[in-house]
Structure 1
Amino acid sequence: MRRDLNGRPVVAGRLSRLREKMLGRRDRPGLTGVDDPDLIVVAESGDDAVASSAALASSAWRAGDEVVLRHVLRLPERRVADAIATAALDGYRPVDPSADDDSSADTAGTGEVIVLLARVQLLDAVHLSQERSRMASLGSRHSGEALRWQVLQPPVARR
C-alpha cells in the first residue's frame, strides 16, 4: 500500500481504481515494511548542521519512490518503552539494531541504549526536516538524543 509524505496509507479513490483496472496498474508496488533485508542506505547524516535538502541532493535517493526513514537515538534504558510508544503514534516501529551496518559507530554509556525507529513513507526535504526535528524532540523529552538518520530504498534493479 502506498504511503503519503507523513507515512499514512493512501487509499486509491474510485477513479484511480477504475483507471488501474482499464489501463493496468502503472505504479510500482510500495514497500512492505521496515524490516526488508534487501533495502540499502541511499542517504544519511549524523550532522545536525547539514540541511536535509543538501543531504538528499548529494545522495542516491530516488524522489517519488517510497522509502524507509530510520532514526538512530541514544536513550536511557528506563525511558525506551515510553519513547517507542510515543513514536508509534506517528507510525514508527522499533527496528533491531543489528539491521544497521553502521551501528558500531554509535556508542551508549552505562544505562543507555541505542534505539532504531523506522517507518515507510514518501519523502522530500521538507518532510525529512520535519521528521528530524520530531526525533530530536523525542530524544530530548526522554533524556536522550537523536544521533543520525538514514533513508533506505530497494536497489534500482529490484524496482
Structure 2
Amino acid sequence: MRARWSARLAARRTRRGSVISTDDPALRVVVIAYDETEAASAALARADEWQPGLPAVLRHHLALPDHSIESARGLLSADGWDLRPGGRGAELGDPGLTAMIALRVQQLDALHCSQESSRMAGLAQRHGGQVYGWDALQPGPGAPG
C-alpha cells in the first residue's frame, strides 16, 4: 500500500515539476518586486535567475498590529499561505507593527503575482498594517530536483 502511495506521489511530482518546500535551504531569491509602482511583469522580466515553469516560493512582506496577526493568519491559511514573523517590515516598518512574511509555493506569472499583491495590500489595509513588496525564491543551480 505504501509503495503504491509513493509511486503516485512520484508521478505527481513528475507531472507538476519538482516539489519544493518553503523551508528548503537551497532556496535563493530570484525575483524582487519591492517597488509598488513597478508592474509584476517588469519585475519578472528583469529577473535573470528566475526559472519560469518551475515552482517558486512567493513571499509577501508586510507588517501588522499584533492584535490582527491571528485573524490575518486565518484568512491566508484558507488559501495555502503561511504567515510567519520576519521580512522587510522589520527594518522598514512602524514601531507599532510586527514584521511578517506571507509565503506559499506556486508557479509564478505576472497575473497571479499582481493579484496576490493586491490581495495582500487589501489585507494589510483592513488590519491596519503595511505592505513592503514581494519576492520569490527558487532552488539554486545544482540543487536536487
- TM-score range for the pair, normalised by the shorter chain length: 0.7 to 0.9
- Hey, which bits of structure 1, 4+ residues long, moved more than 3 A? 25-28
The 3 A distance-change label for structure 1 pair 26 and 142 is closer
Structure 1 regions of 5+ residues with no counterpart?
Answer: 1-16
Q: Give, in whole Å, the separation in 2 of the partners of 1:63 and 1:38.
A: 17
Deviations 1:114-154 (A, max 9, x none): 01110001111111111111111111111112111011000
Q: How many equivalent pairs are there?
A: 132
Pairing partner for 2:63 from 48, 51, 74: 74
Percent of paired sites with the same residue: 39
Cα deviation for residue 96 of structure 1 reads: 4.4
Q: Secondary structure at the match of 1:130?
A: helix
The answer for the alignment partner of 1:106 in structure 2 is 91
Shift of 1:108: 3.0
Alpha-carbon offset, residue 111 of structure 1: 2.5
How far 1:28 sits from its partner (Å)? 4.0
**Structure 1 length normalisation: TM-score?**
0.75
Shift of 1:109: 2.7
RMSD: 2.0
1:50-105 deviation line (CA, Å, top 9, x unaligned): 010010010021110000000110111111111111111111002342xx5xx487
Match of 1:30? 19
1:121 counterpart residue number: 106
Residue of structure 2 aligned with 1:130, choices 112, 115, 128: 115
Q: How many angstroms apart in 2 are the aligned matches of 1:115 and 1:104?
A: 7
- The residue aligned with 1:10 is none
Unaligned runs of 5+ in 2: 1-7
TM-score (norm 2): 0.81
User: Given that residues 43 and 150 in structure 1 are in contact (C-alpha distance below 8 angstroms), is that contact kept between their aligned partners in structure 2?
Assistant: yes
The separation in 2 between residues aligned to 1:113 and 1:91, in whole angstroms, is 21
